[in-house]
Amino acid sequence: MGPEVQQLEARSQHLVLTIACCLLLSVTSTALGEKRNLTRVVYEFAVTSYCGTLDPEVEAGFRAELAALTERGGFDEEAARGLRIRGWVAADREWSNRGLGGFRAWCQSEGIAAASHFQAIARGSRQP
């Protein structure tokens, strides 16, 4: 192996470790009770759509959480709409940033976690 190949391999390993750390931090922050808001909930719902984990139970849980957060937040329709749009745009940007095949890790972490969260709400084992 030449020095160029070794450098490329070292960079690839560094990139993989960096991505793994970022994923761990994102999962940990959510697990530690990151405050859920309309933008985050819509982002997660969009992720389920992009990742193919969207089903009727996910949609039911999403709708229940969206309604609960909208009511608790006291948002008027325009404010709620703006926050929802931010969530869709954030998910779309994230999808675009993943590149060809890069979405797989995103779907394995955020896509599955979001689907499980919404399904738990739909089943009544988690409060919205």
Q: Which residue has the higher pLDDT, 29 or 80?
A: 80
Burial (CB count within 10 angstroms: exposed 0-12, middle 13-18, buried 19+), residue 98: middle
Structure tokens, 46: 């969009």
Instruction: Confirm whether pTM is higher than 0.75.
Output: no
Determine the pLDDT at residue 17.
Answer: 42
Domain around 63: 35-123
Work out the angle between the directed axes of helices 112-123 and 38-51 (0-180°, nearest 10): 110
pLDDT score of 8: 52
- pLDDT, position 13: 53
> Does residue 87 carry a pLDDT above 50?
yes
Residues 11 and 42 placed together within one structural domain of the fold = no
Residues 84 and 63 occupy one common structural domain? yes
Proportion of the chain above pLDDT 90, given as a percent:
62
In this structure, the answer to whether residues 60 and 91 fall within a common structural domain is yes
Distance CA 11, CA 13 (A): 5
- Provide the sign of the torsion angle of the four alpha carbons 72, 73, 78, 81, taken in this order: negative
Q: Does 60 lie in the same domain as 17? A: no
Residue 112 located in a structural domain: yes
Residues 54 and 95 in one domain: yes
**In this structure, is residue 128 part of a structural domain?**
no
